[in-house]
């Protein structure tokens, strides 16, 4: 697992959060169960472990448009992760995210999703960002709605969302019936 210097990569940020690229050291610490002083007490979550385990097989996730650790500016602690499943497929890239329980309900996931989506839409050739959320997880559905994503479809209890680049109106469809 190799990664460019995380300080050399562009890092989207918000008023309350820094979205800093994963490093190989971060991934090794997560996979090895080595607690880091700059992690919230309940980081990493299961999704963070999954991402860390996939970085070797997906080197683009360590690149400029890959996965990020969500750092709470006030405390300097890693409180989750968010990422783009890079590279894009025909101009579309998917986003995924997770914030630790101790920081849930603060709007961090929405804030991070907006920032990384805006950042993704600046990448050459990217015109749409998509996401999926299980309907059994209404908080995740709400994050996407508040971040400006539109619900495109629902199948087998999973809602698909998307947000085209400004000026583009395409979507595979919009759900108007019952969920």
Residue 132, classified by CB atoms within 10 Å of its CB into exposed (0-12), middle (13-18) or buried (19+), is middle
Q: For 79-126, how does the pLDDT look when each residue is reduced to its tens digit (9 = 90+)?
A: 999 999 999 999 999 999 999 999 999 999 999 999 999 999 999 999
Give pLDDT tens digits for 19-73.
999 999 999 999 999 999 999 999 999 999 999 999 999 999 998 899 999 999 9
Q: Reading across the β-sheet that carries 67-72, which strands appear in turn?
A: 17-21, 67-72, 78-84, 92-99, 128-134, 158-164, 150-155
CB 19 within 8 A of CB 68: yes
CA–CA distance, 1 with 162 (Å, rounded to integer): 31
Whole-prediction pTM: 0.87
């Amino acid at each position: 697992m190799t990664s460019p210097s995380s300080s050399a990569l562009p890092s989207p940020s918000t008023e309350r959060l820094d979205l800093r690229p994963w490093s190989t050291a971060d991934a090794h610490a997560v996979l090895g169960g080595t607690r880091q002083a700059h992690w919230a007490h309940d980081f990493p979550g299961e999704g963070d472990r999954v991402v860390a385990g996939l970085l070797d097989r997906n080197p683009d996730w360590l690149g400029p448009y890959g996965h990020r650790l969500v750092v709470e500016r006030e405390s300097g602690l890693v409180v989750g992760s968010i990422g783009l499943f890079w590279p894009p497929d025909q101009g579309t890239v998917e986003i995924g995210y997770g914030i630790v329980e101790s920081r849930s309900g603060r709007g961090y996931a929405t804030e991070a999703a907006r920032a990384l989506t805006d950042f993704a839409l600046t990448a050459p050739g990217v015109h749409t960002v998509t996401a999926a959320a299980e309907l059994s997880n209404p908080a995740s559905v709400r994050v996407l709605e508040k971040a400006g994503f539109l619900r495109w479809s629902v199948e087998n209890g999973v809602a698909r969302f998307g947000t085209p680049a400004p000026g583009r109106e395409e979507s595979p469809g919009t759900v108007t019936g019952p969920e």
